[in-house]
Amino acid sequence: MSGLAEGRTWLRVLVTLAAACGGGFVFMLLRLPAPWLSGALIGVVVLLAAGVRTRLPDLLRDLGMLLAGAVTGSAITPEMLRAAARYPVSLLMLGLTSIVIVLAGRLVLERVFGWDRRTAFFATLPGALSAVIAAVASVGGDMARVVAVQAFRMFVLVAVLPSTIFLAVAVKGRPPQAVIGGGDFALVMALALAVALLFGRLGIMAPFLIGGMIGAGLLHVTDIVHGTPPAMLADLAMLLVGAFAGSRFAYVEAGLIRSLILPGLAIFLVTTVIAALGALATAWLVGIPPAEALVAFAPGGLEAMVMLGIALGLDPLYVASHHVARFVAIAASVPFLTRWIAGADGRGGA
């Protein structure tokens, strides 16, 4: 019986990967941007909508994150770091924008749709879904609503944002770089894996993505290695990240999704408009390309947005630094915010 169950498990894995590959291939044929990220996500979601159970093992998820981190870190060069002086003002604008997103989104869910304070608050937080889920479990709130609204927002962002940016903003691809040699690539992956495993032991968020990025970045910024990973590996990373993002819908019931269509759309519109306004204001204030600011400020998941920036040919250090900073800030503040919310509920305060 165990052998039969294991066979079914691997069959679901193969079907999930086939759906992700099919979606990416269709997007590539249609010449849509970020095909192996957006297409893979949509392919898995279509599979779920058809009633097919999906599965992506942790090993493949971690491999995708590690490759994504290595691809991102390989673009961190000394020349890029010299341009980082503009980031403090941009990060401050990101913090202010995130606060406005939470306040406005929570107000909409509470006043318009009658959600309770805790559920509305956690459903509105941009990114850091793992920390948000842990907080909901400890302090209370409707877990299903939170996950559904957060996943819906991320899904629409990854599926729609690339095409929107290409239509609205002139995005220039990054100049082609030499492909890294086989020995150098092995060194990059070895250090990336070592840092990722260390970060996992230390309990650092997204260890394979962040560890891979730091490991590869250290070797590139010190000029020990040069060049970027082959395009095929970058596409594989996007495929696995997209499949992972789509698989998050597996635990959300169809009936609940239908009941959350209006709240999900409302939160998506409110948070995305506020994020876009903050991004465009920052682009004007700091003097950066609007496309980079739009992706860096997008209220989506860390992994998906970082890979989206890579797929669009944007500055990976700028995009990643903003999403990592927001992730860290939210993850670090959630325990204190949950205590504050619990105390306000007990006092009947606002």
| pLDDT digits 0-9 by tens, 270-296 | 998 999 999 999 999 988 888 888 888
Q: Is residue 18 part of a domain?
A: no
Residue 32 lies in a domain: no
Neighbours of 346 (CB within 10 A): 8
DSSP for residue 173: P
Q: Angle 299-301-306 (CA atoms, 0-180°, nearest 5)?
A: 100
Q: Is residue 79 part of a domain?
A: yes
* Residue 76 and residue 225 in contact, taking contact as beta carbons nearer than 8 Å: no
Q: What is the pLDDT of residue 349?
A: 45
**pLDDT band at 105, cuts 50/70/90?**
very high
Report how far residue 119's alpha carbon sits from residue 106's, in angstroms, rounded to the nearest whole number: 9
Q: Annotate 298-331 with DSSP letters as a single string.
A: --S-HHHHHHHHHHTT--HHHHHHHHHHHHHHHH
Q: Which band of pLDDT confidence, cut at 50, 70 and 90, is reported for residue 97? A: very high
Question: Is position 239 within any domain?
Answer: yes
Q: Identify the weakest region by mean pLDDT among 19-28, 48-57, 271-280, 297-306.
A: 297-306
- Containing H/E element for 256? helix 254-259
Summarize pLDDT for 203-223 with one digit per residue, the tens: 776 788 888 888 988 998 888
Give tens-digit pLDDT for 112-165: 998 888 888 888 888 666 566 666 666 666 777 887 787 777 777 766 666 555
- Out of 21-25, 258-262, 283-287, which region has the weakest mean confidence (pLDDT)? 258-262
Give the residue from 320, 296, 304 showing the smallest Cα distance to 37: 304
Q: How many whole angstroms from its chain centre is CA 172?
A: 22
In the chain, DSSP finds a helix count (H) and a strand count (E) of: 16, 0
Report the pLDDT value the prediction gives residue 348, as an integer from 0 to 100.
47
Asked whether residue 27 is assigned to any structural domain, the reply reads: no
Q: pLDDT category, 341, cuts 50, 70, 90? A: low
- Whether the CB-CB separation of 192 and 161 falls below 8 Å is answered with no
Look at the chain and report how many structural domains it folds into: 1
Helix (H, G, I), strand (E, B) or coil at 228: strand
Q: What are phi and psi of 74, to 5 degrees?
A: -65, -20
Strands (E), the chain: none
Give yes or no for residue 62 having a pLDDT over 70: yes
- Is residue 303 in some structural domain? yes
For residue 111 the two structure tokens come to 């006043």
Please say whether the dihedral angle defined by the alpha carbons of residues 107, 109, 112 and 115, taken in this order, is positive or negative: negative
Tokens of 282: 């920052």
Give bridge partners of residue 228 from the DSSP assignment: 179
* Domain assignment present for 148: yes
- Give just the sign of the alpha carbon dihedral 69, 312, 104, 267: negative
Measured distance CA(26)–CA(216) in Å, rounded: 31
Residue 122: CB atoms within 10 A of its CB come to 30
Nearest to 159 by CA among 272, 55, 252: 272
Q: Tell me, yes or no, whether 45 lies in a domain.
A: no
User: Which is more confidently placed, 183 or 101?
Assistant: 101
Give me the domain span that covers residue 84. Answer: 59-347
Cα 64 to the chain's mean position, in Å?
13
